[in-house]
Structure 1
Amino acid sequence: LGADIVAKARGDAHIVMMSSAASHGIGPVLYKDVPYDPLADFLHIHLVGTFPTVLAVNGSSPITSVAQLIDQARAKPGEITYGSGGNGTMNHLTGQLLARATGVPLTHIPYRGSAPAMNDLMGGQISALMESLPTAIGYFSSGRMRPLAVSEDQRSPSLPDTPTFREAGFPGVVTTNWFGFSTPAGIPPEIAKRWETEIGAALQSTQVKEAFAKIGVRPGTLGAEGYTSLIRSELERWREVIKAGNIRAD
């Protein structure tokens, strides 16, 4: 709804939104009736931050690696489940990439949001969970959940002892959750440039870097051109994954 409102406000430089992988990378290729064009209807100003999806198990689980989880899934077809906050989310799609990379079906349990999914993982109702790092980070530090791997191509500074999927032996499982500032298309170029410059400077501040580090977010470094290219490539990538996996929204 928010993205649609911004898309329809062409030329209005007083409106800005926080675009994301959900609104501009996955949603437009997952849903058939999205009322906006994620590229043509917006001017994408600056990437603000990125963070990984984390594959996690219950803190008391005997599973300590991705390989162990996959071995169990291979030995017990249909019994190993992983939850996410819903069908078509970045966390769900990361699980689909893992299943594709291993050739081992993983039973996905979609929830209506992260909270019930995490509750069921900690309660032992599901085997594993794909969750965004900012949402789960507190449960890792408390020991109630154990991270097995992160989905970005580099380890997270917030989880330095947790390998990437690539390091764990699954190089095809690389995903990044992202968000940034976007405006309606058609705003004056000098205003767009000012937005880009000011946001870029703010993201380099110590205050922002420290705040982001606490929740496992990396400050974005892509300006307008780079952020637009990222969105274009993400749309292409997820269109193929969603089609291949016959993935549908809740």
Structure 2
Amino acid sequence: MLSRRRFTALSSVLPLAVPAIGTAQTGWPSKPIRWIVNFPPAGAADILSRILAENFGSSLGQPIVVENKPGAGGMLGADIVAKARGDAHIVMMSSAASHGIGPVLYKNVPYDPLADFTHIHSVGTFPSVLAVNAGSPIASVQQLIEMARAKPGEVTYGSGGNGTMNHLVGQLLAISAKAPLTHIPYRGSAPAMNDLMGGQIVALMESLPTAIGYFRSGRMKPLAVSEAERSPALPDVPTFREAGFPDVVTTNWFGFSAPAGIPAEVAGRWETEIGTALQSATVKEGFAKIGVRPGTLGAAAYTDLIRSELARWKEVIRAGDIRAD
């Protein structure tokens, strides 16, 4: 299991090459594989990508080079992969932000989240967590909402960027509670968490894998998680449903995708590699320690999930008149 300190160290040196030690293969892959992480270092997508890349890099016969390409709620990195149609040597960590929310939240998205990709396998699911500074007097979601109602415009919550799942979960809470929560977008999770601990923002909506180390060290205080059930990693933290906000039920998801047009045999090989990696004891242990449930959906089911999430979030955004900042 990699420690959080080691994740941070890995993320500070980019790109990361995961060396291959297996027998050299003919055909694919014939050169190093670019793995695009469309969010900043030390975020959930980055952490999960590096766990997986280290786990199966040796089986492909070529290095895997992890590249962080953040921006536009994950859509910048996704566009890089979408434009590489037919290239079997580039892959990405697709997500709810880049393939479920962004394409229906923003105008003029430069790619089709279904037609421009070969979706291969789900990777993992986990909740968003509403958190406050460890020294904050706020001890519950209800207290935060009462403060927001009493001081309109003064209660801010940060997220790692516009169009991310965490952004939208915060908007769902504001709508459900009929409270004026002011969203502050950041370029990634790290600056958002720094500002929370520094007192520049009142609250933070963050992915559990990114924030769990801060909860365990006592630097941040979790108030609620977004999934329908409590997280095994935070068993004492209620769900939003338990806290009195039954409409705030969401799950963050990540998956593994490649450009459209890659050979079917390559897609099949990737599906096997990812599925095998997710069943390994090393990956299961690593995921569990950061509050992630390993993905179980193969190519067809994962593609169906993306299709259903696009429809779901389109309706939520329309019904709530939610707009990108």
Normalising by structure 1, what TM-score?
Answer: 0.90
The structure 1 segments of at least 4 consecutive aligned residues displaced by more than 3 Å after TM superposition are 8-15, 186-191, 240-246
Counterpart in the other structure of 1:66: 141
Tell me how far apart the structure 1 counterparts of residues 141 and 235 of structure 2 sit (CA, whole Å).
16
How much does 1:109 deviate?
2.1
Change (3 A) 1:9 1:115: closer
Change (3 A) 1:6 1:110: closer
How much does 1:20 deviate?
1.5
* Contact 1:87–1:247, Cα closer than 8 Å, also in 2: no
Counterpart in the other structure of 1:247: 323
Tell me how far apart the structure 2 counterparts of residues 150 and 49 of structure 1 sit (CA, whole Å).
16
Counterpart in the other structure of 1:224: 299
1:112-132 Cα shifts (integer Å, max 9, x gaps): 332222222212222211111
Change (3 A) 1:84 1:11: closer
Structure 1, gaps ≥5 residues long: none
Counterpart in the other structure of 2:279: 204
Counterpart in the other structure of 1:160: 235
- Pairing partner for 1:130 from 205, 208, 228: 205
The alignment of Structure 1 onto Structure 2 pairs a total of residues equal to 249
More off after superposition, 184-193 vs 68-77: 184-193
1:180-223 Cα shifts (integer Å, max 9, x gaps): 11122233434433322331122011110111122222111111
Matched letter for residue 7 of structure 1: A
Tell me how far apart the structure 2 counterparts of residues 2 and 76 of structure 1 sit (CA, whole Å).
38
Tell me how far apart the structure 2 counterparts of residues 236 and 105 of structure 1 sit (CA, whole Å).
26
1:62-115 Cα shifts (integer Å, max 9, x gaps): 221112211222233333221222222211110100011111221222233322
Structure 2, gaps ≥5 residues long: 1-75
Normalising by structure 2, what TM-score?
Answer: 0.71
How much does 1:57 deviate?
0.9
Matched letter for residue 134 of structure 2: G
SS of match in other structure, 1:131: strand
Matched letter for residue 72 of structure 1: M
Change (3 A) 1:9 1:86: closer
Residues 1-250 of structure 1: pairs in structure 2 closer than 5 A:
1-243=76-318, 244-249=320-325
Matched letter for residue 61 of structure 1: S
1:122-145 Cα shifts (integer Å, max 9, x gaps): 122222111111221111111111
Tell me how far apart the structure 2 counterparts of residues 225 and 217 of structure 1 sit (CA, whole Å).
22
Matched letter for residue 94 of structure 1: V
Which one has more relative contact order, counting CA pairs under 8 Å at least 6 apart?
1
